[in-house]
Amino acid sequence: MHYNYKYRLDPPEALAETLLHHVDTCRQLYNHVLYKLNESDEIPARYKVQGTLPDLKSWWDDLGDVHSKVLQMVVKRVYDNLSTLKAQKENGRAVGMLKWKPPREYRSLTYNQSGFKLKNTSGRPVLWLSKIGEIPIHLHRDIPENATIKQVTVKQEPTGEWFATFGINVDEATPEKPETPEKVVGIDVGFLKYAHDTDGYAIESPDFSDERERLERAQRNLSRKQHGSANWEKQRRVVAERHAELKNKRRDFLHKLSNYYAREYDLVAVENLDAKGLVELPGNSRNRAGAAWGTFLRMLEYKCEREGTHFVAVDPKDTTKKCASCGVKTDKPLWVREHSCPSCGFEADRDANASWNILSRGLEDVGVVHSERTSPEIEDFWCANESRSDSLTPVETALPTDTVVSAKCVVEAGSPCLKEPPKAASRQG
């Protein structure tokens, strides 16, 4: 299995300048290759372009300072971007041409297969890079002993910090997924509650209002500085640090929540959302972007693969409108937060009803035999009211309220067992 491990580097000032020189040389090579491709009538094969690199070194002295594999990966980066552009065009998106990279948009270099090594010098781990030297590295977690490091990408973040991302292959068998999943869950994501599952737990959206306020204050201070001055550069780094703080806290929450679902269940069903398309819709786009649904689903997918859990992305059409009990569709505007079926009288939270529909479709997709009523709450509702359901009012048939788990509990506790909610959890009512 393939994983990426990211570590922080601590290069001395001299090595940092060398790294910047190598990155800028790679950027210039990227622009040169792109220029040559735009000039040619037909795009040649990538390996043919890579074969011209030795000739370039004869008149371009700076290329001799950079490891050969790094230069080859620059050419690969151009062709990967061209492939992405072509795929978007085939999908009907209006796309233009690749643009030259200015310094602020090219911040990394990649060693592939060779030219790097992890060492232990005087009791301190260092990363050795060919034609650069030994850079102190913070190995906050060990790389598995049965892992093979395939490549290393070194990148400078806008904050000025350097990081190394190791692409590793772990020689281990992928866990087999159970043929008949026993512990199953359906998850509906949203705004007011980030995730609502079929076990009756609603995880609140994390509150980043303080972080956003600090970011906005820093951005206002930056706008008052003279562009390019020393004070402007100092404040620009402050803005970058605020962005990084917000990003890290959000990703920490998403990692821990996705890790919980991947480890606790045999099957996880979610909606196959077009996250990018939702962000582009008018109105409330900031909240959609901040929710990072696409990132959460990608994390959940690869972690389910790692843990041997079925991951099923179902068609999201009518999951909110359809009654999870009888299947009758009822139109509900966004401000209506409760589901009340006019046909069978079943009542539940809007998102809870959607999560049951998602689970039902997920079980169908993997071919699991199940009853139409996938939720224990729905089963209890019909068992208790089977003889008199026609005469009950919506208030009498309402289900118990769901348990609300604070997002802060998820972040502080790591990956808590939501079936034993902490004291901070409360019930609606």
Instruction: Give 262-274 pLDDT, tens digit per residue.
Output: 999 999 998 887 6
Mean pLDDT for 389-409 is 46
Distances (CA, A) of 288 to 205, 273, 279, 285, 385: 12, 12, 6, 5, 39
Domain spans in the chain, listed from the N-terminal domain onward? 2-170, 184-427
Give the CA dihedral 366, 370, 375, 381, nearest 10 degrees: 160
Q: Name the band, by pLDDT with cuts 50, 70 and 90, for residue 417.
A: very low
Q: Which carries the bigger pLDDT value, residue 33 or residue 170?
A: 33
Strand order in the sheet with 133-138: 108-112, 147-156, 162-170, 2-9, 133-138, 124-129, 116-121
Identify the pLDDT of residue 389: 34
How high does pLDDT run on average in the chain?
A: 81
Nearest to 202 by CA among 350, 317, 413, 357: 350
pLDDT at 260 over 60: yes
Mean pLDDT for 243-267 is 91
Q: Which carries the bigger pLDDT value, residue 119 or residue 334?
A: 119
Mean pLDDT for 368-384 is 48
Identify the pLDDT of residue 133: 94
State pLDDT tens for residues 336-365. Answer: 677 777 777 677 777 788 888 888 888 887
Q: Name the band, by pLDDT with cuts 50, 70 and 90, for residue 403.
A: low
Mean pLDDT for 68-95 is 90
Q: Which carries the bigger pLDDT value, residue 365 or residue 84?
A: 84
Identify the pLDDT of residue 323: 80
Nearest to 191 by CA among 315, 111, 287, 304: 287
